[in-house]
């Protein structure tokens, strides 16, 4: 305990602020990991359910939206159903508005973790500089070399603490930024699925396109066979 108090005094009290910074970073990491776990899990289930719905299945969409009304993706479905848009472009704008309203919740607190990554090493370095200044003040007295060496070693602990904060925070910051991009991708995919289910060609039209493509392929095959027979003189 005495050594900790000595380090705090040597570094100008900055280790206390770095401890608070580390506590804040850990709190943000735990909160955001749990948040993205719930958001991405619900988004994956909604994507799967939407792919199974038919064209203009309003009852199925409403049931799905009410089931996940507590989620960002569920509110996007309800927004599509309550929208009075008369075209796909108008509905797309309404859905884009809902996505933008969701953005503050998706990247909430990430700036605190980013700040911890930047401030941790800087505070550690500043604490080390303060400690080394106090250490060099003892030079010129008896046993100055031993005191200076021990003081420098103690002052470097502050830099180590700051670097530890950054080392802990950087992997989680990258991980959470990846989760953020996946959540935005989910919202964009659900927006596109809703547009296709409400104003796109729909499932029935896609089936017609497949049949039309197959009929054209069969016709092309017959024409090619007839051309080959003519060339062979059959």
Quick one: 49 and 14 in the same domain? Answer: yes
Quick one: 32 and 93 in the same domain? Answer: yes
Q: How confident is the model at residue 150 (pLDDT cuts 50, 70, 90)?
A: low
User: Where do the DSSP E strands lie in 108-232?
Assistant: none
Quick one: 109 and 47 in the same domain? Answer: yes
Quick one: 149 and 213 in the same domain? Answer: no
- Asked if the model's pLDDT at residue 98 lies above 70, the reply is yes
- Asked if the model's pLDDT at residue 14 lies above 90, the reply is no
Report the number of distinct structural domains present in the chain.
Answer: 2
- Asked if the model's pLDDT at residue 40 lies above 70, the reply is yes
Quick one: 227 and 133 in the same domain? Answer: no
Quick one: 214 and 105 in the same domain? Answer: no
Three-state SS at 107: coil
Pick the more confident residue, 232 or 89.
89
- Asked if the model's pLDDT at residue 10 lies above 70, the reply is no
Quick one: 215 and 139 in the same domain? Answer: no
Measure CA of the first residue to CA of the last residue in the chain; give whole Å. Answer: 102
pLDDT at position 85 is 78
Pick the more confident residue, 234 or 91.
91
Quick one: 139 and 234 in the same domain? Answer: no
- Asked if the model's pLDDT at residue 25 lies above 70, the reply is yes
Quick one: 93 and 35 in the same domain? Answer: yes
pLDDT at position 167 is 94
Quick one: 212 and 177 in the same domain? Answer: no
Closest CA to 123 of 42, 21, 2: 21
Q: How confident is the model at residue 56 (pLDDT cuts 50, 70, 90)?
A: confident
Least confident span in 41-55, 98-112, 192-206: 192-206
Q: Read off the pTM.
A: 0.74
Residue 56: domain span? 2-200
**Which letter does DSSP use for residue 142 in this model?**
T
With the C-alpha atoms ordered 58, 209, 190, 98, is the resulting torsion angle positive or negative?
negative
* Average pLDDT score, the chain: 80
Count Cβ atoms below 10 Å from residue 1 Cβ, excluding itself.
5
Q: Looking at residues 202-222, what average pLDDT do you find?
A: 46
SS3 annotation, 46-98: HHHHHHCCCCCCHHHHHHHHHHCCCCHHHHHHHHHHHCCCCCHHHHHHHHHHH
pLDDT at position 143 is 55
Quick one: 105 and 221 in the same domain? Answer: no
What percentage of the chain reaches a pLDDT higher than 90? 35
Quick one: 130 and 234 in the same domain? Answer: no
């Amino acid at each position: 305990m005495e050594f900790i108090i000595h380090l705090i005094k040597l570094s100008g009290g900055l280790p206390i602020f770095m401890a608070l910074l580390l506590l804040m970073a850990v709190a943000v990491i735990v909160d955001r990991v749990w948040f993205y776990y719930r958001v991405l899990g619900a988004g994956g289930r909604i994507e799967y359910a939407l792919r199974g719905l038919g064209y203009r299945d309003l009852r199925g969409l409403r049931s799905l939206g009410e089931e996940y009304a507590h989620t960002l993706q569920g509110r996007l479905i309800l927004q599509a159903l309550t929208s009075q848009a008369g075209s796909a472009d108008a509905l797309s704008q309404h859905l884009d508005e809902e996505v933008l309203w969701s953005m503050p919740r998706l990247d909430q607190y990430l700036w605190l973790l980013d700040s911890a990554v930047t401030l941790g090493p800087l505070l550690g370095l500043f604490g080390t500089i303060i400690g080394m200044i106090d250490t060099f003040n003892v030079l010129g007295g008896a046993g100055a070399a031993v005191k200076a060496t021990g003081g420098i070693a103690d002052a470097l602990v502050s830099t180590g603490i700051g670097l530890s904060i950054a080392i802990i925070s950087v992997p989680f910051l990258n991980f959470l930024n990846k989760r953020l991009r996946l959540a935005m991708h989910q919202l964009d995919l659900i927006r596109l699925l809703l547009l296709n289910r409400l104003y796109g060609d729909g499932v029935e039209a896609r089936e017609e396109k497949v049949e039309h493509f197959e009929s054209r392929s069969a016709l092309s095959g017959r024409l090619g066979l007839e051309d080959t027979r003519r060339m062979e003189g059959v």
